[in-house]
Amino acid sequence: MKKKIFVSIALLALLAACDDHYDDQFNIKPDITDVKDIAMTLETADYGTISKLSANQELALSKDPEGKTYVEALAEVGTNHYFTEEAPAEDYLPAYLKSKYPNADEGSRFVVTYKLFSPSEYMGDFKNLSAYDLTEDDYKTVWGDKVKASFLSPSTVSKIPGLLKAAVNNPAAGDMKVVNYAYSQTEPSIGGGGDGGDEPAPSYTSVADLLKLTSEGEYTSKGEVVAVNAKSFILKDETGLIRVYQGKLVTCSVGDVVEVSGKVELAKQGMNRFSSKSVFKVLERKEAFTYPAPQTMETADLVTYANAAVPAIQYVTYEGTLTKNSNNINIVLDGGNSVQGSITDALLVDDSWINQTVVVTGYLAGVSGSSAKYINTFATSIVVKNTDNQVTPIGLIAYSPIGNYTVKGLVTAVHTKGFVMTDGTGDILVYKNALPDEKVGDMVQVVGTTEARNGLIQFTSTGLAVTSISEGSTIPNDMVPQVLSAAELNAYAAAPRFAYVSVEGTLTIEDSEKGYNYYNLAVEGVEKDLSLSYVDDSDVAASLNGKKVVMNGYLLGANKGGYIQVMLVSIKEAAAVAGLRSLASTRASSVSPTTSALYVYDGDNNAWKEYTTEEAKVAVVEPGVYESLGTDMIEEPETVLPAYLKQKYPYAAAESVVAVIYNEKANTPVVAEYTLGENWIETTSSRLVTTTFTQDAEGISAEASMYVNETFKKDLGSFTIQDVFMDGVSWVWKQDSYGYMKASAYIKATGNHQAESWLVSPVMNFKKSKEPELLFEHACRFRAENPADHLNVMVSVDYSGDVKTATWTALTVENWSDATDWTFVSNKIDLSAYNGQQVTIAFKYASTNEVAPTWEVKNVVVREKVEGESEGEEGGDAETPAE
């Protein structure tokens, strides 16, 4: 065998020497190349491979030979499975591609989709973060000469923006200050401080004047609560009605007369309103309460309301079909689809009402959604049409005689003998005389007889029937507690009311020698202790005996001895709850900070304002936490902050996000984002990014000329689908077998359906872009005269995974196909306005019950402009019509 091989090799050599056409004879062409054209998405294991390649490790070390910063960043790519700014994919993917495709020749092209670390967009707000402690001069500015107090109170917290304006020289837009200050829940005139007597009565701004405002500002108004939902209430005075937005469940009742102080925002959902930072205080209860006669509204009337220049709050009744999509509760009206009723921040919706014709009664409160389509409704009653309404609003029972009633509501608190429930109109105790099966957040129906006890109306256990409707609402987990002064607690026994409160005092635990403990709370300035009723001993740590605590709970009236009865909701040592301390000595010359808040400078309005974001809660670690640690900084945030958040947000829902501001060094605040899973963990978010790499004579490198190139011939590619609303259809966008993406909400058997669905590109990095442009082909039929009424190409620079939370701008689409055929037409749209940003493109489909177009899209390209390229023809190839 070896001899035969030798001869064969010798023969080949001879042939090659004697025949110039040897290559042709054996069909061997020396110019054969291996040009790759590959699209790939990195798998988890690939990141580890990339981080361990010797070529990459040498590159990382060369960037910082001494500190090895980039070596560590590269190692983290393998651990975290995403790239970062310190370890960019453009630097480290070329070596990986070379190792994976060693024989690839010049002209090869690799389209790689990978994960890039991408902190939430709002985290960029915290670039200029520093601290400011209020000074004695600041407190003097707040209180003037008549009151000597070194703290702020509920009525004076609104002075902080003015103090910052005076103290901070030449602030830049976006500058942030963590403001540390002493705080007392008790006003000096009530709590014993000050030497100028009682403060003058507040000056109230009428609701009518608030609604006329053309610039935002701080105001105080007084009126009656006439409606409540899960996040707001409506305030009424003799001049009009205004919405008071709180962002969570308030615990006032219809008939409460309240004082509201805080910022008034302009044209929110069509009208001015108090912002979520406003505070309210219950002053008294009216002796009687009735709802006004509602105005009956037909579809045409609601269309007129939605299109009003400045819609007013008004009490109405209308009917339609109730639909539910996630938390969106809408009423589809008969005879029209240009508007729908929307049950705003619904507190109670019985799933048995879904797809039924219902009669809704409540307050119209502006509009929301594109084209003012959805009319906000504070529902005071929802009844299935042609059925008897046996349900009485809980708030009205307090004004009604003792008798038999049926109510529906959410359980908001429990003790060992019963539970408190609310429907937004008010609260009531359901006394079962037994450990309840009901849990906080359950929706229940209660049928029973009322009785008067401790000055309040409650359900008695005799003949009581409780039926579960649903389980597990998170609405009661974050209620707004009321803060009562010592004087108000002393006066409570004479005029008791249901109130969810936060109170600080000294707890005593005493064995009754009857198988249970007595729990009493001594509050400074209050004549008689508060008595915690029917407490589960496991809810209160024995170590709290004799300690200063902060207690949240429901006041359940006062017994014959004048002792206020309380249903416990939560109790914590006061030292661990900074910002809720009572400052006993309001005459002290100096008081250390007890609470902190975050303010940002609004350059457009030359004003400081408290910082909030809809993307996360914002928690500023309070001074008391540092005191408990015995330091002025947090050296191990990965240990301290999860424990802090667990205590601060005990009822937070899974996937809750909090931006935590803490001192990394003394008086040096920084921010970290945490997300709740099984525990609170620091967020490590990433997004998919696509980059094209090409190979030339010098090797493989990233090119900025191509960002996205999807034909949709086989699948979605790097695009994703997000369904926002689906009424009677199971899909809108799908990959069609003819090789394009098709969107339709038409079903042959049932016709057109209302839907909203988005086809979303990956996030594209335009950091180095010069003249990016979007090219695509599309065709549509069965559309409105104006295609943009239903079909839009959108762009966002803050998209982070949810189309509903991003800011979108509609791009101008010049070319549309004739609505009578399926001929594809081409479009080219300049995107250079978005240079330097993270950009996402989306195709938005929105249909109605009247119009449900069919839209076909293919060959979507985002690239750098190619000089000298012909614009080409508008029309494309005709495709087989979609069914």
| pLDDT tens per residue across span 145-154 | 777 788 888 7
Q: How confident is the model at residue 587 (pLDDT cuts 50, 70, 90)?
A: very low
Phi and psi at 121, nearest 5°, equal: -55, -40
Buried b (16+ CB within 10 A) or exposed e, 417-440: bbbbbbbbbbbbbbbbeeebebeb
What is the rounded average pLDDT of the residues 161-167? 93
Range 141-145 average pLDDT: 85
Q: What is the pLDDT of residue 404?
A: 96
817 and 825 Cβ atoms separated by less than 8 Å? yes
What's the rounded Cα separation, in Å, for the pair 159 and 167? 13
Q: Tell me which of 394 and 709 has the higher pLDDT.
A: 394
Strands of 463-563 (E only): list them.
465-470, 499-511, 517-522, 530-532, 548-558
- 497: helix, coil or strand? coil
From CA 322, how far away is CA 333, in angstroms rounded?
Answer: 9
Q: Residue 330 pLDDT more than 70?
A: yes
- Rounded mean pLDDT, 132-143: 90
Q: Exposed, middle or buried, 722 (CB in 10 Å: 0-12/13-18/19+)?
A: middle
What does the alpha-carbon distance between residue 51 and residue 46 come to, in Å, rounded to a whole number? 9
Buried b / exposed e along 760-795 (16+ C-beta atoms within 10 A)? bbbbbbbeebeebbbbbbbbbbbbeeebeebbbbbb
Task: For 126-157, give one letter per residue: b (16+ CB within 10 A) or e.
Answer: beebebbebeeebbeebbeeebbbbbbbbbbb
Where in 512-656 does DSSP place strands (E)?
Answer: 517-522, 530-532, 548-558, 564-573, 595-602, 607-610, 617-620
Whether the pLDDT of residue 418 is over 50: the answer is yes
Residue 689: the pLDDT is: 79
Distance CA 811, CA 827 (A): 11
Per DSSP, which regions of 308-417 are E strands?
314-325, 328-332, 340-343, 357-368, 374-384, 404-415
Nearest to 273 by CA among 245, 311, 252: 245
Across 191-200, 533-542, 683-692, least confident range: 191-200
CB 470 within 8 A of CB 507: no
Q: Per mean pLDDT, which range of 131-140, 783-792, 873-882 is the poorest?
A: 873-882
421 residue type, one letter: M
- The residue-averaged pLDDT of 100-122 equals 87
Reduced to 3 states (helix: H, G, I; strand: E, B; else coil), residue 645 is helix
Helices (H), 344-399: 394-397
**For the CA atoms of the chain, what is the radius of gyration?**
33
Q: What would the DSSP string read from start to end of 253-279?
A: -TTEEEEEEEEEEEEETTEEEE-TT-E
The yes-or-no verdict on residue 584 having pLDDT over 60 is: no
Residue pair 753/727 in contact (Cβ under 8 Å)? The answer is yes
The residue-averaged pLDDT of 847-868 equals 86
Identify residue 799 by its one-letter amino acid code: Y
Give the three-class secondary structure for 728: coil
| Average pLDDT over every residue of 404-429 | 94
Q: Do residues 554 and 479 touch, judged by C-beta distance below 8 A?
A: no
Higher pLDDT, 567 or 766: 567
pLDDT of residue 575: 64
The pLDDT assigned to 364 comes to 94
pLDDT score of 876: 35
* Top mean-pLDDT range of 78-82, 305-309, 319-323, 689-693: 319-323
Residues 694-715 as b or e (16 or more Cβ within 10 Å = b): bbeeeebebbbebbbbbebeee
Integer Cα distance of 122 and 800 in angstroms:
10
CA distances from 745 to 215, 496, 642 (A): 43, 56, 45
Which of these ranges, 99-113, 233-247, 402-416, 694-708, has the smallest mean pLDDT? 694-708
C-alpha 569/C-alpha 533 separation (Å) is 11
- Rounded distance, CA 22 to CA 19, Å? 5
List, in order of start, the domains of the chain with CATH numbers.
1-32 (no CATH), 214-285 (2.40.50.140), 295-384 (2.40.50.140), 394-472 (2.40.50.140), 486-576 (2.40.50.140), 704-878 (2.60.120.200)
Helix axes 54-63, 69-80, angle to 10 degrees: 140
Q: Which residues of 527-547 are buried (b: 16+ CB within 10 A; e: fewer)?
A: ebbbbbbbbeeeebeeebeeb
Q: Are 853 and 780 in contact (CB under 8 A)?
A: yes
Q: Binning pLDDT at 50, 70 and 90, where does residue 709 land?
A: confident
Going by pLDDT thresholds of 50, 70 and 90, the confidence category of residue 29 is very low
Using CA atoms, how far apart are residues 374 and 270, in angstroms rounded to an integer?
11
The residue type at 728? G
Q: Is the pLDDT of residue 734 over 80?
A: yes
Q: Are strands 240-245 and 607-610 parallel, antiparallel or unpaired?
A: unpaired
CA-nearest of 761, 735, 737 to 839 is 761
pLDDT at residue 2 tops 50? no
- Do residues 711 and 858 make contact, with C-beta atoms less than 8 angstroms apart? yes
φ/ψ of 621, rounded to 5, equals -60, 125
**Structure confidence at residue 336 as a pLDDT band (50, 70, 90):** low
Ranges 195-204, 247-256, 275-284, 416-425: which has the least confidence: 195-204
